[in-house]
């Protein structure tokens, strides 16, 4: 079954264009400082945008394998160069499935570990919990499902200055869809601002 994802592609291109403009502005404002963001404790906020991918067996027994634009907004506190706690909201996207449209979102709390690799570069890993709401609508019927599940992820961070960084991440969210638990993978790029 082929799905026309033209509007999804246009939304992703617009979102990535906006993100590219934000990154360019950050680079211009950040100068060439070489201090690592990971080296000092403090509060931070950020936002990522990218691609979410749902693959599961739908409630009607047919496979779902779809992608859509996803995003997240988050804030956290970095306790030391290697550990932070992060609270965030994610929009996982809207997916067309044989049983109807599936729209998922969630709130999460993660423990984030950072390992400096080189000046300005860090690897990061995360594990936490996510409280998701999935809405399935089709054939004149709408079903909402709330679920609490595991969330994991990994990525790289590049520090432009002591106050700004770029993150590239992969995250896996466990989502409940009408008694079926599914994985949504999100691949995203974002900017972190520390204060």
CA dist., res. 130 & res. 51, Å (int): 18
Q: What is the pLDDT of residue 60?
A: 44
- The full DSSP string for 27-89 is HHHHTT----GGGS-EEEEEEEEEEEEEEEE-TTS-EEEEEEEEEEEEEEEEEETTEEEEEEE
CA dist., res. 29 & res. 23, Å (int): 10
* Inter-residue contact 181 to 149 (CB < 8 Å): yes
Q: What is the mean pLDDT of each run of 10 residues along the chain (195 residues)?
A: 45 58 49 46 95 69 70 96 95 78 91 94 96 81 83 96 95 78 91 95
CB atoms closer than 10 angstroms to residue 168: 16
Beta bridge partners, 57, equal 63
CA dist 193 → 46, 99, 150, 177 (Å): 6, 41, 26, 34
Q: What is the pLDDT of residue 34?
A: 37
Q: What is the pLDDT of residue 134?
A: 84
Q: What is the pLDDT of residue 5?
A: 45
Q: What is the pLDDT of residue 37?
A: 46
Helix (H, G, I), strand (E, B) or coil at 17: helix
Q: What is the pLDDT of residue 22?
A: 53
């Amino acid at each position: 079954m082929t799905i026309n994802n033209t509007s999804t592609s246009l939304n992703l291109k617009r979102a990535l264009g906006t993100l590219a403009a934000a990154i360019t502005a950050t680079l211009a404002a950040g100068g060439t400082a070489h201090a690592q963001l990971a080296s000092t404790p403090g509060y931070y906020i950020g936002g990522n945008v990218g691609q979410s991918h749902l693959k599961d067996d739908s409630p009607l027994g047919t496979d779902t394998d779809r992608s859509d634009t996803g995003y997240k907004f988050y804030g956290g506190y970095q306790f030391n160069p290697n550990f932070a706690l992060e609270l965030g909201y994610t929009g996982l996207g809207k997916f067309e499935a044989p049983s109807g449209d599936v729209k998922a979102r969630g709130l999460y709390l993660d423990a984030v570990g950072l390992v400096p690799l080189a000046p300005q570069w860090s690897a990061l890993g995360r594990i936490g919990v996510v409280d998701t709401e999935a809405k399935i609508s089709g054939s004149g019927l709408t079903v909402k499902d709330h679920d609490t599940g595991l969330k994991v992820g990994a990525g790289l961070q590049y520090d432009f200055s002591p106050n700004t960084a770029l993150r590239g991440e992969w995250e896996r969210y466990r989502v409940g869809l009408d008694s079926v638990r599914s994985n949504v993978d999100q691949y995203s790029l974002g900017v972190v601002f520390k204060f």
